[in-house]
A and B are shown apart, each in its own frame.
Chain A
Amino acid sequence: GAGVSQTPSNKVTEKGKYVELRCDPISGHTALYWYRQSLGQGPEFLIYFQGTGAADDSGLPNDRFFAVRPEGSVSTLKIQRTERGDSAVYLCASSLRDSNEQFFGPGTRLTVL
């Protein structure tokens, strides 16, 4: 079956611009996670949705970052006023409600010039 998909695969933007990154989870997975992987580092947790609501957003670095999941399926990570330090691979994962086995998408590589 289809895995987690993320679009775009690559995004290049200029400092100060707004970007949206999209994640399509595995069908039937109610939990959805966003992580950020900087060069040479392990992924770091950003936010976790259970259904439509954000159950834990403690990993969002500041108020320029926001994520939504309005219908409990597709999620969009939004970054305002991008900075060069936001450059990273943004990973999305999904899981069944009562499972902590997460399935990862291929990621979106964001480059802020």
Chain B
Amino acid sequence: AQSVTQLDSHVSVSEGTPVLLRCNYSSSYSPSLFWYVQHPNKGLQLLLKYTSAATLVKGINGFEAEFKKSETSFHLTKPSAHMSDAAEYFCVVSDRRGTSYGKLTFGQGTILTVHP
């Protein structure tokens, strides 16, 4: 079984300040982990993914995430927020074995607001 908990439903930051979106996961097997972004009226776009290589994963638009097995966390960070980062972000887990293979399990989403 796999599940994801996004610890904040809303995060608000000022432009130019750091972003932290928190995610904890549960997985029966070695998971793949993803962050997707969804801008209003747009489709889901993959930001980055972890698949058991380096634990610090770099994605598009300056985002990165660190896989911490001991804490079952995969938090998303960015050093300096931009207005265009305002969107909803989803943490996603996928078991790479077993009956859940191929199935993505999404968190509830975190809405990021960026103030000028």
Contact = CB atoms under 8 A, between A and B. Distances in A.
Contact of A33 (B36, B99, B102): B102
B103 A56 contact: yes
Contacts of A56: 99, 102-103
Contacts of A31: 102
A54 B96 CA distance: 18
B94 A43 contact: no
Interface size class of A (residues with CB under 8 A): 20 to 34
A38 B49 CA distance: 24
Contacts of B104: 33, 35, 43, 45, 93, 100, 102
Contacts of A59: 103
Given A42-B107, A42-B109, A43-B106, A100 B99 contact: no
A43 B92 CA distance: 10
A2 B90 CA distance: 24
B102 A41 contact: no
B90 A42 contact: yes
B46 A101 contact: yes
Interface string B87-102: 0001000101001011
Nearest to B51: A100
Interface string B73-90: 000000000000000001
Given A41-B108, A42-B107, A100-B96, A55 B102 contact: yes
A106 B101 CA distance: 23
B111 to A, nearest CB: 10
Interface of A: 31, 33, 35, 40-45, 48, 50, 55-56, 58-59, 91, 93, 95, 100-107
